[in-house]
């Protein structure tokens, strides 16, 4: 399987209305709270500043939980999400300090990795990024390829919201083209600010 160091995917509907003048002029950055998922390690623990929105979502703070000893990419900790054979998946999200504006191009990056051993949740999965006006998954903004590498790699995404969005949700999900649920894991660390970008 070929793995690129930078993954970019456009998913979403464009409304073709002009962006607000203030955003056009300022190049606004939206800084996430606790972007490197800093917290004390532990199983079934949500990092400070984040929430979960999916049923049965119980993220793990790493390193240390379930025997995973991968060093963080940034800071002292990171978060891990799993997928399950019953079709449930894990996520983390947060209310943004300022909303995403419809029809504006945004970009952000995050470091991703995979643990080859994770209490039977050992297979590679991908990252899906959702946006919403509430604590739920409304628009799929972008998605990565399946993450199978053990070392941290930076992935950069671009997306265009189709409505005003106050929430951003990061979700582990099954590999593209796979329709049978399975046990997998995804490690996440060091989110960049969300910034305005030019359309491709």
Instruction: For 127-163, write each residue's pLDDT tens digit.
Output: 999 999 999 999 999 999 999 999 999 999 999 999 9
Domain of 136, CATH number, reads 2.60.120.260
Kindly state whether residue 4 falls inside one of the protein's structural domains: no
Supply the pLDDT for residue 200.
59
Kindly state whether residue 18 falls inside one of the protein's structural domains: no
Kindly state whether residue 189 falls inside one of the protein's structural domains: yes
What's the rounded mean pLDDT across residues 179-186? 97
Instruction: For 55-105, write each residue's pLDDT tens digit.
Output: 889 999 999 999 899 999 999 999 999 999 999 999 999 999 999 999 999
Separation of alpha carbons 43 and 131, rounded Å:
26
Kindly state whether residue 161 falls inside one of the protein's structural domains: yes
3-state secondary structure 86-139: CCCECEEEEEEEEEECCCCCEEEEEEEECCCCCCCCCEEEEEEEEEECCCCCCE
Whether 60 and 66 have beta carbons less than 8 Å apart is answered as: yes
Kindly state whether residue 15 falls inside one of the protein's structural domains: no
Separation of alpha carbons 113 and 171, rounded Å:
14
Q: What is the reported pTM?
A: 0.86
Kindly state whether residue 47 falls inside one of the protein's structural domains: yes
Higher pLDDT, 108 or 26: 108
Supply the pLDDT for residue 26.
41
Question: How many structural domains does the chain have?
Answer: 1
Kindly state whether residue 16 falls inside one of the protein's structural domains: no
Expressed as residue numbers, the domain containing 95 is 27-196
Kindly state whether residue 36 falls inside one of the protein's structural domains: yes
Helices (H), the chain: 21-26
């Amino acid at each position: 399987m070929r793995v690129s160091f930078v993954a970019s995917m456009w998913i979403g509907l464009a409304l073709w209305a002009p962006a607000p003048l203030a955003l056009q002029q300022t190049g606004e950055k939206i800084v996430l709270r606790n972007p490197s998922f800093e917290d004390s390690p532990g199983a079934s623990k949500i990092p400070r500043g984040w929430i979960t929105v999916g049923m049965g979502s119980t993220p793990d703070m790493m390193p240390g939980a379930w025997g995973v000893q991968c060093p963080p990419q940034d800071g002292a900790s990171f978060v891990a999400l799993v997928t399950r054979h019953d079709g449930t998946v894990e996520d983390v999200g947060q209310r943004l300090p300022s909303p995403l504006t419809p029809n504006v191009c945004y970009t952000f990056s995050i470091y991703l990795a995979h643990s080859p051993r994770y209490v039977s949740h050992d297979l590679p999965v991908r990252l899906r990024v959702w946006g919403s006006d509430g604590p739920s998954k409304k628009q799929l903004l972008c998605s990565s390829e399946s993450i199978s590498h053990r070392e941290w790699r930076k992935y950069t995404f671009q997306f265009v919201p189709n409505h005003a969005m106050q929430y951003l949700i990061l979700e582990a999900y099954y590999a593209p083209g796979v329709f049978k649920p399975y046990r997998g894991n995804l490690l996440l660390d060091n989110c960049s600010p969300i910034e305005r970008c030019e359309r491709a």
